[in-house]
Each structure stands twice: as structure tokens, then as C-alpha cells.
Amino acid sequence: MNERQRLGRIRAHLERRALIFESVRSFFRSAGFTEIETPLRTPAVAPESQIVPFESEGWYLSTSPELYMKRLLAAGYDRIFQISRCFRKGERGRWHNPEFALLEWYRKGGNHLDMIADTEQLVGAVARSLGMGHTLPYQGRRIDLSPPWPLFPIRSLFREIVGWDPLVVDDPVRFDTDLVTRIIPALPPERPAVLTDYPASMASLARLSAADPASAERAEVFIGGLEIANAFSELTDPGEQRERFSKENEEIRRQGRRPPPDPHPFLEALPYLPPSGGIALGMDRLVMLFCDAASIDEVMAFPHEWA
């Protein structure tokens, strides 16, 4: 298949993609959010041992707009959203492309579950804009999008399905393997699933739970077997955040890579960050769902090999 044939074949998906992006922007504007833009090329990124950034003449291509958006929150912005191009090295497969579209939004005074509620409303709004009801046909399944979506605490899922407690045993490799091969396939296929209360060691930039410091106020949304979104109650303690970054940098060094420099402007802004909720949602995967597409290549005009 040549390029012209391929682009003709996916034209309906690309036209629907444009409608979905328009619907997402309309949803947030109606809810009083301000659309903002942040740099795609940045002097520092958040150190994450599982994400490899692209370097650009001593700087980095953005892996996420998160740090910039939190600096805006710290400066007094209450509700903000952005659809950004992001770049992550080595991420290629059925659901991944090294360059992708990421939607992030933040709300002052919110928490991770507020962001999940936003996501329920957003997905419903997109469905309505496409003339659909609450039922999403995807890869032979009929998924009921009606809110509220069921919550599944990580501890309960792992104890029941794989017989160990990741809040007690810190084994990220085993966690990731069991999550992909055992946990996600066991989630109810006819409903979105929200995994909550991730281990504290996987808090990233989320705050720990006051009720159970062994867990983080972090939740992930899965629809049709796809991880769609990742929500945090945002950490506002600069000392704790520096410590977490230091641990991530140690792991990056163990992998034989050079850690990025500390994102000093973000860390300096963190004491002014109000209690907030934030979430990142993969726009390409959202389009996949609403196009009944099995691969991310079906909803991108120029994925990696066709660029």
C-alpha cells in the first residue's frame, strides 16, 4: 500500500479525529477552562525512569506539558487545559507512537477523583457530539460509558487476581508485568474501569493518601483495554518532590543514562501551587476508541514509519 492509498483509507478516521478535537475544546471552554500553550522544547523535563526523552541541542523535546502547567497554577490560574504534541523515545507499537497528542487539564481545588469525574463528562460530551449515546462499539464489544465509572483499588485487584500486595511488596517490574498480562485482561470489558490508590512508590508527582500513606492519590482510566488517562491529586511539597526526583535520577543512572537537569523553575513554583487535581489523557487513543480502530496508525496521518 502506498501513501496515497493509505491516506485515502483512513480519511474518515482523520475527519472524525478533527471533530473529536473540536468537541474536546468546546467542552473545556464551556466549563470555564482557559486553553494555554507551553514550549515543545524545554531545558528540563521531569525525571522518569520509564520515559526516555529526545534531546535537542542540550535541551529536550517535551514529554508532557505538566511542569509548565503547574507553574501556571502556582501563578494563580484556576482552570487550564492544553492539547500538546509530546515526544517519548522508543515508544512504538500498536498503541504507541514516539510523537503523540496529549490532553492535560488542571483545576484548582480538585483532586484525582474530581479529574475522573471530568473525564466521564468529557467522554460523554464527545460521544454526544458524534451522535452517539452511552454505548460505544469497540473491537466487537459494546462499552457502557454511563457515569459513574466503577473504581478498582489496586491493592484489592492484585490480592484477588495475582495473590500479592504491591502496597507492601515494592517490585515495579513484577507490578508492570502482572498489570499488563493479568490485571487489565480481567477488568470488565463492558465498562470503563478506574484503577485507584497506586503504591506510594509509583506516586510520581501525586500526593500520598492521608488515610493510607502506602498509597498515592493517583487513578488511571482504562476503556476497551486501553489506558486512556492518568489522574493525580497534585503534590505541593517541594522537599518531597525533590526527593522523588533524586530517586528517579538514581534509577536513570543505573540504566546507564544521563539524568536531565533539575527543573528549577518548577520546583521554585511548587510552594505556591494550591491544592489541585490534574490529569493527562491520550488523544490518539481516545480517537481510536471513537473510530473503532485497532491501531494508533489508523488515526494518525503520518505515524513514525510514514513520516
Q: What does the angle CA 275 – CA 277 – CA 120 come to, to the nearest 5 degrees?
A: 150
Nearest to 62 by CA among 299, 263, 304: 263
- pLDDT, one tens digit per residue, over 262-292 is 999 999 999 999 999 999 999 999 999 999 9
Q: How far is CA 37 from CA 23, 72, 77, in A?
A: 18, 11, 13
- pLDDT, one tens digit per residue, over 154-210 is 999 999 999 999 999 999 999 999 999 999 999 999 999 999 999 999 999 999 999
The SS3 call for residue 289 is helix
* pLDDT at site 91: 84
Query: With left for phi above 0 and alpha for psi between -120 and 50, is residue 252 left, alpha or beta?
Result: alpha
**CATH number assigned to the domain comprising residue 132:** 3.30.930.10
DSSP-assigned letters across all residues of 154-170? HHHHHHHHTS--TTTS-
Is residue 11 included in any domain, yes or no? yes
Which stretch of DSSP H or E encloses residue 306?
A: none
Is residue 66 included in any domain, yes or no? yes
pLDDT tops 90 at residue 305: yes
pLDDT tops 90 at residue 21: yes
The SS3 call for residue 253 is helix
pLDDT tops 90 at residue 300: yes
- pLDDT, one tens digit per residue, over 37-90 is 999 999 999 999 999 999 999 999 999 999 999 999 999 999 999 999 999 998
* pLDDT at site 175: 96
Give the separation between CA 269 and CA 247, rounded to whole angstroms. Answer: 21
Q: Sign of the C-alpha dihedral, residues 266, 269, 219, 146? A: negative
* pLDDT at site 232: 98
Cβ(78)–Cβ(108) below 8 Å: yes
67 — phi, psi (to 5°)? -65, -40
* pLDDT at site 282: 99
- pLDDT, one tens digit per residue, over 227-255 is 999 999 999 999 999 999 999 999 999 99
Q: Which domain holds residue 264?
A: 3-141+238-306
Is residue 177 included in any domain, yes or no? no
Number of folded domains that form the chain: 1
Interval 111-134 mean pLDDT:
98
